[in-house]
Amino acid sequence: MIEIQHLHKSFGKFQALIDVNLLFEQSHCYALIGPNGSGKTTLIKSILRLVIPNSGVIVIDGKPCGSDPEFRRLIGYMPQNPRFPDSMTIGQIIAMMKDVRGDQQPDEELIKNYHIREMSNKKLGALSGGTKQKVNAALAFLFSPKILILDEPTAGLDPLAAEILKEKILLEKQKGKLILITSHILSDLDELASDLVYMQDGKVLLQQNTAILKMETGESSLTKAVASLMKNHDEPSLISNE
């Protein structure tokens, strides 16, 4: 579904991505982890072409993505720190997104579950971080995209809202969607992720099925599996970093 070949990106002298080669397939949920500054967000943004890579090819759904923006129709993106135009209301931004994407059959499940409709007259500038994140999530899932890219999806959400989101992610996965999540909360990923991609210093160190990983390390949870992996690799601890 998404194929990344020899992707390089540097910001000035800083090498953000070094020869990244990855393959993401449908019906899988990939957990993208790594310490701060390891290149996770840069990778995601490269896929969306918000960051223009220095070299390398990204093929989505069989088509190499370039300046033609149509490939983004396949993607629902939930950015890390959502900020919307302050003077717009929730209702307006949802209407605007529908307008921008064109008349697809919208999936309003999250809107319903988060009771967003009831708040549709509220100004986005006046919302709490959590509520904004709810709107953010609802927008990403609104057009039932084939690919979902979620950058820290549960950050700022209360446990109940986070649970609703996780259920939604699982549901979409079952529908055959490709899901790419970055998160620092590994316990969340435990329930969702089918595969794990570990990045550090711009390089992909590991891409592995989580079940196999747990088996190899002999740990029962993903958190512990990753921790033991770190130890074996003699790398600084991922968890203490956060």
Partner 1 sequence: MNKMLKYIIADILRTKVMIGYMVLLFVISFVVFASESNASKGVLTMMSIVLFMVPLVSVLFSAIYLYNSAEFIELMLSQPINRSQVWIGMYTGLGLSLIIAFCVGFGVPMLLFASNHGWVLFVSGIFLTACFSGIGLLASVKVRDKARGIGTVLMIWIFFAIIFDGMVLFLSFQLADYPLEKPMMIMSALNPVDLARIFVLLAMNISALLGYTGAVFNAYLGSGLGRLICATVLLGWCILPYWISLKWFKKKDL
C-alpha pair distances (Å), 149 with each of 78, 80, 177: 6, 11, 11
Are β-strands 29-33 and 63-64 bridged in parallel, bridged antiparallel, or unpaired? unpaired
- The residue among 48 and 238 lying less far from partner 1, judged by its C-beta, is 48
> Which listed range, 20-28, 63-71, 155-163, 225-233, lies at the site for partner 1 (CB under 8 A)?
63-71
Instruction: Tell me the C-alpha distance between 161 and 154, whole Å.
Output: 8
Q: Does 129 bind partner 1 (CB under 8 A)?
A: no
Give the closest residue to 111 by CA, choosing from 124, 126, 94. 94
Give the closest residue to 150 by CA, choosing from 172, 183, 177. 183
> Which listed range, 68-76, 175-183, 195-203, 224-232, lies at the site for partner 1 (CB under 8 A)?
68-76
Window 156-185: contact mask with partner 1 (x via CB under 8 A) = ------------------------------
Instruction: Tell me the C-alpha distance between 129 and 115, whole Å.
Output: 16
- The residue among 106 and 224 lying less far from partner 1, judged by its C-beta, is 106
Window 98-127: contact mask with partner 1 (x via CB under 8 A) = -xxx--------------------------
Q: Does 37 bind partner 1 (CB under 8 A)?
A: no
- Residue 161 structure tokens: 């809202």
Q: Does 83 bind partner 1 (CB under 8 A)?
A: yes
